[in-house]
Structure 1
Amino acid sequence: MESSQTLPILDRTELRILGVLMEKSKTTPEYYPMTVNAITIACNQKTSRKPVVQYDEQTVVLTLDRLKKKGLISTATGGSSRSIKYKHNFAIVFPVTPQEVAILCLLILRGPQTPGELNTNSGRLYEFESLDEVQSVLERLADPEMPYVMQLPRRAGQKETRYTHLLAGVPDLTSEEFQEELSPGKPSSELESRLTKVEQELAELKAAFDQLMKELT
């Protein structure tokens, strides 16, 4: 990783939109690049997002303009659609691999996670061969010469260390937000995880159906 570069400091809205573009480029490539409407819906979805938000299209448009000025996204035109579409340039601006983009995307959209959680949640973004591979990617991303992530102090009663991204700067570990993050977490339910996956698949099926209906009318 090149030490001559520095990471941008992004606000929450910029992070959400950048993360959405990273995610959808892999999970629904047939609908990528994305329109403003599609980006807005993806930002506001209730699964695989922390926190859940409710952006309007004006907020998304203004944020896309800021990200474009920072060189992190660009527009794409052509094809049958007249709408302007957007794609992220993160892997062009920074020397990151698909594995590293997948990890950063998960941390941006879902917040701090352990290597095990990242391995579980990464399936549709990148198929890691093992937990060791996830750990290896995290170690590269935490390289002191150009750190994209950092370890957080362990939660009380938990063995695994969690990681957070640094695209919003180094987090203030004394803030109320991170004090809450560092408090003992509730054990995740397998049923909740499966329900989240089903909800996400249903949302994507609905989006595909809506797109098909538009093409037929």
Structure 2
Amino acid sequence: MPFDPRTQPLTPIQARVLATLMEKSRTVPDSYPLTLNGVVAGCNQKSGRDPVMQLTDAEAQEALDALRQRTLSVEIGGNRATRFEHNFPRGAGVPDQSAVLLSLLMLRGPQTAGELRINAERWHRFADISSVEGFLNELAERSDEKGGPLVVLLPRAPGAREPRWAHLLCGPVDVASLAAAPAGGEGGTGGLAGRVAALEAEVAELRGVVRQLCQELGIAAPQPPVSPPGQD
């Protein structure tokens, strides 16, 4: 039977670890599957994460073990280090496009369909917002036989132009509290902040890949450029 969050919800840490595996499989495929260090670094990013977490190796390992028991992740033994990959689409019984949207909701919190489409650009290019909404509606209307709904549409927040979606992988959510939480407007400063955060996350990921490659090759990693005075 597919994963059912109503009877075995994920903890916030498990959701962060799972979503990080799903993100890195698409954004940095050259360094995927991830080592434990890679998992922890991805979970603790400060950009593209809401909320920001500070997980320890032990917490991440415990979450990986729990995900593996639910067939949502896989452990791969290697000559140098054990690596981990996700098995979410098969374990949860959802298509890849739906898995992308769920991962973004786990990483970044509630978002509108438009925000999800923008944030998914490096993972999967949806044709339009209607396509995103189609997959979200399927997740919201998921039958009991398949494990029940995996997302919920929140009431429109005061001053917001569009309602946001939230995931249900960690169990039921407080719809009223989430709906009242501040949200960035599409196309305004919120949209710009999202794009900046995505670019910062991409740079951080690429630096991590370079560091890992340098370590494996036994050479010194290049240092990031120093900002000119007055441009911190």
What TM-score does the superposition give when structure 2 sets the normalisation length?
0.83
Q: Tell me whether 44-53 or 91-100 shows the greater mean CA deviation.
A: 91-100
The separation in 1 between residues aligned to 2:85 and 2:67, in whole angstroms, is 11
Shift of 1:191: 4.4
Q: From the superposition, tell whether residues 5 and 67 of structure 1 become closer, same or farther in structure 2 (CA, over 3 Å).
A: closer
Q: Tell me whether 188-197 or 158-167 shows the greater mean CA deviation.
A: 188-197
Counterpart of 1:33 in structure 2 is 33
The separation in 2 between residues aligned to 1:185 and 1:22, in whole angstroms, is 24
Q: From the superposition, tell whether residues 111 and 191 of structure 1 become closer, same or farther in structure 2 (CA, over 3 Å).
A: closer
Counterpart of 2:204 in structure 1 is 203
Q: From the superposition, tell whether residues 196 and 151 of structure 1 become closer, same or farther in structure 2 (CA, over 3 Å).
A: same
Matched letter for residue 204 of structure 2: A
The separation in 2 between residues aligned to 1:216 and 1:158, in whole angstroms, is 50
Contact 2:17 2:39 in 1 (8 A): yes
Matched letter for residue 67 of structure 2: L
The separation in 2 between residues aligned to 1:140 and 1:182, in whole angstroms, is 25
Q: From the superposition, tell whether residues 207 and 168 of structure 1 become closer, same or farther in structure 2 (CA, over 3 Å).
A: same
Contact 2:70 2:91 in 1 (8 A): no
Counterpart of 2:223 in structure 1 is none
Counterpart of 2:71 in structure 1 is 71
Contact 1:157 1:184 in 2 (8 A): no
What SS class does the counterpart of residue 166 from structure 2 fall into?
A: strand
RMSD: 1.9
Counterpart of 1:155 in structure 2 is 157
| Paired positions, count | 209
The separation in 2 between residues aligned to 1:194 and 1:152, in whole angstroms, is 23
What SS class does the counterpart of residue 153 from structure 1 fall into?
A: coil
Contact 2:40 2:57 in 1 (8 A): yes
The separation in 2 between residues aligned to 1:210 and 1:156, in whole angstroms, is 44
1:127-138 to structure 2, matched below 5 A, reads 127-138=125-136
Shift of 1:186: 4.8
Shift of 1:160: 1.1
Contact 2:97 2:135 in 1 (8 A): yes
Q: From the superposition, tell whether residues 5 and 72 of structure 1 become closer, same or farther in structure 2 (CA, over 3 Å).
A: closer
Shift of 1:77: 2.5
2:39 paired with 1:17: no
Counterpart of 1:215 in structure 2 is 216
What SS class does the counterpart of residue 66 from structure 1 fall into?
A: helix
Contact 1:155 1:182 in 2 (8 A): yes
What TM-score does the superposition give when structure 1 sets the normalisation length?
0.88
What SS class does the counterpart of residue 175 from structure 2 fall into?
A: coil
Matched letter for residue 165 of structure 2: Y
The separation in 2 between residues aligned to 1:125 and 1:53, in whole angstroms, is 22
Q: From the superposition, tell whether residues 72 and 191 of structure 1 become closer, same or farther in structure 2 (CA, over 3 Å).
A: closer
Contact 2:151 2:165 in 1 (8 A): yes
| Structure 1 stretches of 4+ moved >2 Å | 4-8, 183-188, 190-195
The separation in 1 between residues aligned to 2:184 and 2:193, in whole angstroms, is 12
1:1-217 to structure 2, matched below 5 A, reads 6-7=4-5, 8-78=8-78, 81-145=79-143, 146-173=148-175, 178=177, 181-187=179-185, 188-189=188-189, 191-217=192-218
Contact 1:73 1:90 in 2 (8 A): yes
Contact 2:74 2:86 in 1 (8 A): yes
Contact 1:16 1:109 in 2 (8 A): yes
Q: What do the CA deviations read for 1:66-122 (whole angstroms, capped 9, x no partner)?
A: 2222221110124xx421111111111122111101100000100111101101111
